[in-house]
Amino acid sequence: MASALPPTLALKLPEEHVFEDLKLRRCADDAIDLDMDLVRKVCQLNGLDFDKVQSNPGPVVSTILTVWYKSHLAEGGSPDPVMEQLKQGR
């Protein structure tokens, strides 16, 4: 399987889930926690090697969060406090 992330516009998200299903939360000042089973599902949908993503999750997880959050907001979803902090660099 490929390890490079496809272009963001082509990122497939699981239709049966919503952004809140990621259960995004802060676990430290500079770290977040989220549902990695759902990240695994996104990786599978997009042909990404989840084991490689786990070894360096930052770039792929950041892209998943960014794309999914933009979609969530565009569909009328409520702002997420953790994502808003991350967008502001906090």
Q: List the pLDDT tens digit at each of the 90 positions of the chain.
A: 444 554 445 689 999 999 999 999 999 777 899 999 999 999 999 999 999 999 999 999 999 999 999 999 999 999 999 999 988 887
Cα(84)–Cα(90) distance, rounded to whole angstroms?
9
Burial of 26 (0-12, 13-18, 19+ CB in 10 A): middle
Structure tokens belonging to residue 43: 């990786």
Are the beta carbons of 63 and 11 closer than 8 angstroms? yes
62 in a structural domain: yes
41 in a structural domain: yes
8 in a structural domain: no
What domain count does the chain have? 1
pTM listed for this prediction: 0.85
Q: The domain containing residue 61 runs over which residues?
A: 13-87
42 in a structural domain: yes
Give how far Cα 32 sits from Cα of 17, 38, 44, 47, Å. 20, 15, 22, 24
65 in a structural domain: yes
49 in a structural domain: yes
